Structure 1
Amino acid sequence: MAHVRDVRFEHHREALGVGESRPRLSWRYEGTRTVPEFVEIEVQGQNGTRHVRVRGDDHVLRAWPFAPLTSRERSAVRVRALDRWGAAGVWSAPATVEAGLLRTEDWLARMVAPPRGVDGEGGAVELRRTIDLTLPVRHARLYVTSWGVHVAHLNGVRVGEERLAPGWTSYHHRLPYRAHDITHLLGMGENLLVITLADGWYRGRLGWDAGFSRVYGERTAVLAQVEAVLQDGRSLELGTDEHWFAAPSPVVATSLYDGETRDERRGAAAWSPVEVLDAVPHALVAPTTPPVLPTEVLVPVASEVVDEGTTRYDLGQNLVGVLRMRVAGPSGATVTVRHAEVVEDGRLAVRPLRGARAIDRLVLGGQPVTWQPEFTVHGFRYADITTDHRDVRVEGVQAIVVHTDMRRTGHFECSDPELTRLWENARWSLRGNAVSVPTDCPQRDERLGWTGDIAVFAPAATTMYDCAGFLSSWLADLAAEQEENAGAPPLVVPSILGPTPPVAVWGDAAVVVPWTLYERYADVSMLRRAWASMTSWVELVRRRAGDDLIWEGDRQFGDWLDPAAPADEPAAARTDPDLVATAWFARSARLVARAATVLGRTGDARRYAALADAVAAAFRRTFTTPAGRIAGETQTAYATALAFDLLPDAAARQEAARRLVGLVEREKYRIATGFAGTPFLLDALTDTGHVQVAYRLLAETSPPSYRYQVRMGATTIWERWDSLLPDGSVNPGEMTSFNHYAYGAVADWLQRVVGGVAPLEPGYRRTAIRPLPGGDLTHARTSLLTPYGRIATHWRLDDDRYTLNAVVPTGVTAEVGLPDGTRHVVGAGDHTFTTRHRPAYPPSSTPPPGPPDATLARRTVNRSPGPVHRGRAKGQGHSAC
């Protein structure tokens, strides 16, 4: 009999305060090779216990089978399998779901702001209210959000572990609130609720140079509501109103970019009544993304005294978070912490931070304290801690890793520790750039949700973590802001740049990201919600392309950060930006056609498929010859045309593949692609039978290459292939980050090709298990927790003997391919296959291509998108990702 495990609701990690009245159900099966024909679902709630019998094969995002939840309603759900004769298995562990405040009228609280005299601008301010109880409570909730970032304490105890709440969204469109269980924190008598509020993304500095501040509003504010049921059954409700008071906090300065200063000498100040602002904001929503949490603690791997009063700590890992330490010393003494990703010439390399100061300070009040900043995070591996008094003692230094608390789902390792490290570098870059939104970098004066980065990295991200809630929340902001930007997704989401032009790859995130989420999580609603956004983008590009369907003449980022581009001209790539733009136009049109088919929009499916065919034909007419040669003769041009299936027939593909291999060999297996081409280079080689060439490219150690970064000590993915030069100096480009995940797109290839696990149907319900050994690898292991369960592979080579172990979960069919060409279709279970190993694809010895065809010579120019904000143009050194 099947055992039911892991009952869950929508894509929530914790289903407390959800915004869905009919949350879809998912679960997994264990202990059986076949899906039970029927299951029984039980719900226990305020209306008693109810049961329903449903088919067992529909167990991923199954429609809620009971009456809709009402606001605050809490239910426990269990599931058990039934056999064909009706006999029941064991109940699953109960999973609880609780609805949030689903109606505006459920809120009695109002937004309150500190009075202007204690506004806390630049620092943090405390808002407080006492709660008097004459009876114990049965259960209690705190619903809270803010304009700004906040943390709540009840009777001196922190309420939850969330950092930088409520996160960063397009606040005018979506302001999420969070529900907290505070039952255990309330006692009889007087209870003190304190909410500390800082500028955060709402009013703080964002962007480069002088940056932007007050992007969303002039004043920070809090909306909070406490609801409790007392022991005698009576209810207590109170919210932020004129009975709250405010005063400055010990955090005298705090900024996401510049760091935080806390003065322990600041005592209690006079409390002033708050100012009541608007009623409940119209944009209030329950969150769909997990909160930002501390997820790991690292201790330094080394420390050294670098100057009088200064000790440098090496965490051994480039991370995002803050330091925590125990500090004791005389009143007025100061501890200063400076952060950086790398060390150059014996000093912290702070130039890559540009305008971000990344400095935290603690002014002691005479008593020992355990200190960690609250309203900031830094991207760093190294930290210099300086004390200005000889009697100051700093002990117990730790790094607190902070990011959106996505569930880890993927693992990869292989016999080559450098490739294993490469995959881990991509994973750490995802962690560091998933602080509420998917950002480009976490350390300098930028940290923005550049759409192009996640457009190329989303497939890799979903092999590592469950990104469904995280990215679907971000897509909701993208869609809302795209509508205000004339159909073009803003270059950064949430948008702070004002109107921005349509740019290929970056704008294509509107199509690529929702399609990736559907493919990986089998959630049709992802496509349904994104449909207007997807089609709006493709229709906009259609208009820009004109009758010939070639998108040309507009300013583009193109193959951004091509390694041959000058350090201060990252858009000056070898590949024609019009070629890149048109290729991505064809790809997005094709994905929209597939989405229309999934959604049952038959007419739209035909229309967009015809558009994709027409754009592909235009691409061939303009950029290729019938023989398979492509304009510009670049790795990106060939990889893109092959990966997007833009060539006319097998012969043209074969010739294009041959020429791509020649280009790779001419570059001595070094990478010659930027953001637009890199994600497809290895796949283009692999899919055309040149697996060993792909492995050889992956084995290269001289720059630009993947292993160069690893051998230079990288623990995250770099923005530039040579962010650190061979002599150990930092790349002279103004735009140099050591934590950018775009080139980490290779992690998806490592899982699909080296590990061998790739989806054939949404959610991996039908999966390809086909590792392709190559290079010097002797074994590899990968696992992925899919919506249906854990898929795992482990292959190894012993001389010429190849053994593959595969784990397939219940409900999944796997198509297994072996190196000798044999194929097997298997269902759930543990499977072992053994065969002799002979490389299916021998190394290539293709000669390099000749000079480009003169008839295909097109202008290759640096068309950066031009000024998109108050300040310098994008093509003048700022990151586009």
Structure 2
Amino acid sequence: MAFKQLFFGGFIMILLACQSSPEDRSAAFPLEGSAIGGSWKADWITAQDSLPEKNAWIAYRQSFINKNITDSVKLRIAVDSKYWLYLNGELVVFEGGLKRGPTPEDTYYDEVDLTGKLKQGQNTLAILVWYFGKEGMSHKSSGRAALIAELWQGNRLVTQTDTGWKAIPHPAYASESAGPQPNWRLPESNIVFDARKDIPNWELPNFDDTDWPSAKTIGKAGSEPWNNLVKRPIPFWKDYGYRAYENNLSFPFMSTGDTLSCKLPHNAQVTPYLKVRAAPGHRITMLTDHYQGGSAYNMRSEYITGDGEQAYESLGWINGEMMYYVIPKGVEVLDLQFRETGYNTEFLGSFECDDVFYNRLWQKALRTLYVTMRDNYMDCPDRERAQWWGDEVLESGEAFYALDRKSDLLVRKGILELMYWQRADSTIFSPLPTGNWDKELPGQMLASVGYYGFWNYYWHTGDLETLRKIYDPVKNYMGVWKVKSDGTVMLREGGWTWGDWGKNKDVPLLMNTQYYMALKGQQLMAEALGKATEAETLKAKMKTFKVAFNKTFWQHDHYRSRDYKGKTDDRSQGLAVVAGLADPDKFEAIYHTLQTQMHASPYMEKYILEALFQMGYADFALHRMKKRFEKMVEHPEMTTLWEGWGIGAEGFGGGTTNHAWSGGGLTLLSQYVAGIYPTDPGYETFQIRPQLGFLKNVQATVPSIRGKIRVTIQQDDTFRMSITVPQETTATVFIPSKYKKIEQNGRETPATLYGEYFKIEVASGEHVFKAR
């Protein structure tokens, strides 16, 4: 059995030794699904006994009589911050609730479908609530630990939170742990559970709660500090259930003071489970290899044993490739397992080719994407869990090619949150929801509202209604930016003038390229919404800006701002191309620049590689992709991609090894190599325009909103392509012009020459093309 002693820079020694309120914009920008005041009958309730200021756990119970088991049953429930729901002793929601908030003031609520789950006669609801009580980069604390809930059967209110409920602080959960504490970015605290103080079976219907005090009411729905209640816009988590670890541990095992190393199948969001036999008072610690992911301390769990045989699952998720259990001497380990949970989406997209490197890159990008999805898209699941919008722009692009369409709801949630948090001066900032951050990163904000952000969401989904909701706030934000006398944009410092990790950043040039892409996104939104006059005005502004940009920044063979003295900034050259600021007569010079300059982080590298594909240099794009990402892709133990090009000191910003922005290669392989991309909003029409470069075989599936698009391509002396076109869509197929005599489904077919391709339009169905 693979047990070994591990030392986390002195941390294990410690363990063993101690075994600015933005303006409310809801009136001008109505919240979806909000339930204000009188539409709820329930009260906010909490425990009578005093609670700790942070990291409080409260147990609630209520029994009620039900006479009708045929009607639909819905439970509406809101908490700050998380809850676990039992009905008649059965766990029906594992970690409900979303981190606050949809606006700086308001709170999300869940609607739980309990149809068919009630019994005739007496039923019992038991709810465990975890109140963070801390601000974080992904959570705005209300400052009050509370619950509100009401159960509806059809149009009849069955029960609601009031003084008839029972509530106590759960005595087994300690509010404080020994250091180290999770870093300031996380609202979650370490979880310490003392089984000697547990309330066995408190969630079961026959539990005697006579001695429990009644709950205390502390407000009506719609009251401060929770304010408007906004319906959860994303699914409940997917629960994969308990699973054994990958390294075939054998039990029982008597610890001699061991750290047990348990291998997870991949970097995942998990809650650890144990079953042991022990005397009271032994402290078992659970943490992952990502406990210091990104150099900062993250969450850990501790369990203090009761007497005899006992089982425990720590409810706050942590992530990593390995789970470690620090087991004191004399504790007999009977079983160790884990529960993986995550965003409820399916991995429906795929990409495979004849070079295993790109297959690994695609799969590692997918794993990185999934472990950075939950309440919100996040930069990393360990150090921050924060919705940085530079990261989300890339993540959302990947999701369109890799995941089912439930993933679109998480992007939409992020879009609405970003604009609902817009400040009175029209600036926007991320990450949010947040209680301890208010700095605008101008470049990331331009990316969010721009062509690759909001517009790309619409282009892949066809969701015009969301564009309609956010257009005016976007317009207001764009109005914050001013143009200088030379026609280029005036640099705004914001809260943090961050362009990218790494060296040789030409920040004025970066901001100008991103500003143009934001203008492009706004212009396209105006056009899609039928705002013809605004669209034409913006188009003219873009034309003028492009002339000024090239006059100011083009230096014969590369782009550079006047006062910048560093090496040529590769990221800015790529952004100029993908923005549409660089015309084809500059492509060759930019291509030569990108052969020698490599300064961007993995975040900005995506745009450089995309520029190479757009300029027609597919071979070099693939070569550069491999050169840049090879170290992390070929790492034998890590299943996700990194924040920087190396680990720790070799990386950037603390160097997490599961960072969302490194997965842009997934999008590029599906969109450019396989060639699949919508040509109308929501894939009403799309193209298959492959750029295989030196690859010989490619297979790809894209789970579009219209259905699965499948492509198989083989190229050598002959060219073969098989495609699946979903119902009620039309595809334009591009075949390299070096191939002649094109056959479609066994018959020679006419094709139109289009640059270096022949193009053919096809209707829905299965199609096979051959050319020599």
Bin the TM-score by the shorter chain. Answer: 0.7 to 0.9
1:176 pairs with one of 108, 117, 137: 108
Per-residue CA distance 1:769-827 (angstroms, 9 max, x = gap): 1222223x332211112121111101124x52332111101111111112333221111
Residue 549 of structure 1: CA displacement? 3.2
SS of the aligned residue for 2:656 comes to coil
**2:192 alignment counterpart:** 261
1:746 pairs with one of 665, 669, 673: 665
Residue 680 of structure 1: CA displacement? 1.4
2:711 pairs with one of 768, 772, 793: 793
Counterpart contact for 2:369–2:395, Cα < 8 Å: no
Paired residues for 1:392-407 under 5 Å: 392-398=332-338, 400-407=339-346
Which one-letter code corresponds to 1:706 in the other structure? F
Residue 105 of structure 1: CA displacement? 3.1
Counterpart contact for 1:257–1:443, Cα < 8 Å: no
1:240 pairs with one of 148, 155, 161: 161
Residue 259 of structure 1: CA displacement? 3.4
1:816 pairs with one of 719, 733, 738: 733
Paired residues for 1:377-776 under 5 Å: 377-398=317-338, 400-444=339-383, 446-465=384-403, 466=405, 467-484=407-424, 486-501=425-440, 503-511=442-450, 512-542=452-482, 548-552=487-491, 554=493, 557-562=497-502, 573-625=503-555, 630-631=560-561, 633-647=568-582, 649-651=583-585, 653=586, 657-666=587-596, 671-674=598-601, 677-700=604-627, 705-713=628-636, 714-723=638-647, 731=650, 735-775=654-694
Residue 748 of structure 1: CA displacement? 0.9
Structure 2 alignment gaps of length 5 or more: 1-31, 177-181, 200-208, 562-566, 739-756
Residue 470 of structure 1: CA displacement? 1.1
Residue 488 of structure 1: CA displacement? 1.8
In 1, distance between residues paired with 2:248 and 2:524? Answer: 55
Which one-letter code corresponds to 2:760 in the other structure? H
SS of the aligned residue for 1:111 comes to strand
**1:10 alignment counterpart:** none
Which one-letter code corresponds to 1:454 in the other structure? E
**1:143 alignment counterpart:** 76
Which one-letter code corresponds to 2:395 in the other structure? F
Counterpart contact for 1:148–1:197, Cα < 8 Å: yes
SS of the aligned residue for 1:195 comes to strand
Counterpart contact for 1:804–1:834, Cα < 8 Å: yes
1:300 pairs with one of 226, 235, 245: 245
Residue 737 of structure 1: CA displacement? 0.5
Which one-letter code corresponds to 1:794 in the other structure? T
In 2, distance between residues paired with 1:377 and 1:120? Answer: 21
In 2, distance between residues paired with 1:355 and 1:810? Answer: 50
Counterpart contact for 1:140–1:226, Cα < 8 Å: yes
SS of the aligned residue for 1:435 comes to coil
In 2, distance between residues paired with 1:191 and 1:296? Answer: 25
Which one-letter code corresponds to 1:275 in the other structure? K
- Give the RMSD, CA atoms, in angstroms: 2.9
Per-residue CA distance 1:260-286 (angstroms, 9 max, x = gap): 222222244952332212211241122
TM-score by length of 1: 0.73
**1:195 alignment counterpart:** 127
2:148 pairs with one of 218, 223, 227: 223
In 2, distance between residues paired with 1:684 and 1:462? Answer: 20
Counterpart contact for 1:329–1:391, Cα < 8 Å: yes
1:371 pairs with one of 289, 312, 316: 312
Quick one: structure 1 residues 169 and 260, their matched pair in 2 at CA, closer, same or farther if it must change by over 3 Å? same
1:291 pairs with one of 216, 220, 236: 236
Residue 101 of structure 1: CA displacement? 8.9
Residue 370 of structure 1: CA displacement? 4.3
Which one-letter code corresponds to 1:146 in the other structure? V
SS of the aligned residue for 2:220 comes to coil
Quick one: structure 1 residues 517 and 666, their matched pair in 2 at CA, closer, same or farther if it must change by over 3 Å? closer
Residue 137 of structure 1: CA displacement? 5.8
Counterpart contact for 1:292–1:436, Cα < 8 Å: no
Which one-letter code corresponds to 1:220 in the other structure? A
Paired residues for 1:62-101 under 5 Å: none
Quick one: structure 1 residues 457 and 419, their matched pair in 2 at CA, closer, same or farther if it must change by over 3 Å? same
Residue 610 of structure 1: CA displacement? 1.9
Counterpart contact for 2:256–2:328, Cα < 8 Å: no
Counterpart contact for 1:575–1:634, Cα < 8 Å: yes
Counterpart contact for 1:101–1:107, Cα < 8 Å: no
**1:354 alignment counterpart:** 296
Residue 644 of structure 1: CA displacement? 0.9
Quick one: structure 1 residues 166 and 644, their matched pair in 2 at CA, closer, same or farther if it must change by over 3 Å? closer
After TM superposition, the structure 1 stretch with the greater mean CA deviation from structure 2, 266-275 or 734-743, is 266-275
In 2, distance between residues paired with 1:531 and 1:585? Answer: 16
In 2, distance between residues paired with 1:188 and 1:547? Answer: 76
SS of the aligned residue for 1:278 comes to strand
Residue 630 of structure 1: CA displacement? 4.3
Per-residue CA distance 1:631-675 (angstroms, 9 max, x = gap): 56332121111111113x432x3xxx22333233335xxx43236
Give the paired residue count. Answer: 684
Counterpart contact for 2:446–2:518, Cα < 8 Å: no
1:271 aligns with 2:209: no
In 2, distance between residues paired with 1:753 and 1:364? Answer: 56
**2:11 alignment counterpart:** none
Per-residue CA distance 1:83-108 (angstroms, 9 max, x = gap): xxxxxxxxxxxxxxxx9896753311
Counterpart contact for 1:330–1:392, Cα < 8 Å: no
Quick one: structure 1 residues 615 and 286, their matched pair in 2 at CA, closer, same or farther if it must change by over 3 Å? same
Residue 225 of structure 1: CA displacement? 0.2
1:318 aligns with 2:267: yes
What is the percent sequence identity of the aligned residues? Answer: 18
**1:846 alignment counterpart:** none
SS of the aligned residue for 2:672 comes to helix
Quick one: structure 1 residues 829 and 296, their matched pair in 2 at CA, closer, same or farther if it must change by over 3 Å? farther
Quick one: structure 1 residues 459 and 339, their matched pair in 2 at CA, closer, same or farther if it must change by over 3 Å? same
Which one-letter code corresponds to 2:147 in the other structure? V
In 2, distance between residues paired with 1:690 and 1:298? Answer: 46
Counterpart contact for 1:753–1:772, Cα < 8 Å: yes
Counterpart contact for 1:172–1:283, Cα < 8 Å: no
Counterpart contact for 1:755–1:782, Cα < 8 Å: yes
**2:18 alignment counterpart:** none
Counterpart contact for 2:557–2:590, Cα < 8 Å: no
In 2, distance between residues paired with 1:625 and 1:121? Answer: 57
In 1, distance between residues paired with 2:256 and 2:577? Answer: 55
After TM superposition, the structure 1 stretch with the greater mean CA deviation from structure 2, 601-610 or 332-341, is 332-341
**2:767 alignment counterpart:** 831
Per-residue CA distance 1:49-93 (angstroms, 9 max, x = gap): xxxxxxxxxxxxxxxxxxxxxxxxxxxxxxxxxxxxxxxxxxxxx
Quick one: structure 1 residues 586 and 265, their matched pair in 2 at CA, closer, same or farther if it must change by over 3 Å? same
Quick one: structure 1 residues 297 and 530, their matched pair in 2 at CA, closer, same or farther if it must change by over 3 Å? farther
**2:258 alignment counterpart:** 309
In 2, distance between residues paired with 1:421 and 1:271? Answer: 55
Counterpart contact for 2:35–2:228, Cα < 8 Å: no
In 2, distance between residues paired with 1:538 and 1:786? Answer: 31
Residue 706 of structure 1: CA displacement? 1.1
Which one-letter code corresponds to 2:195 in the other structure? E
Counterpart contact for 1:127–1:244, Cα < 8 Å: yes
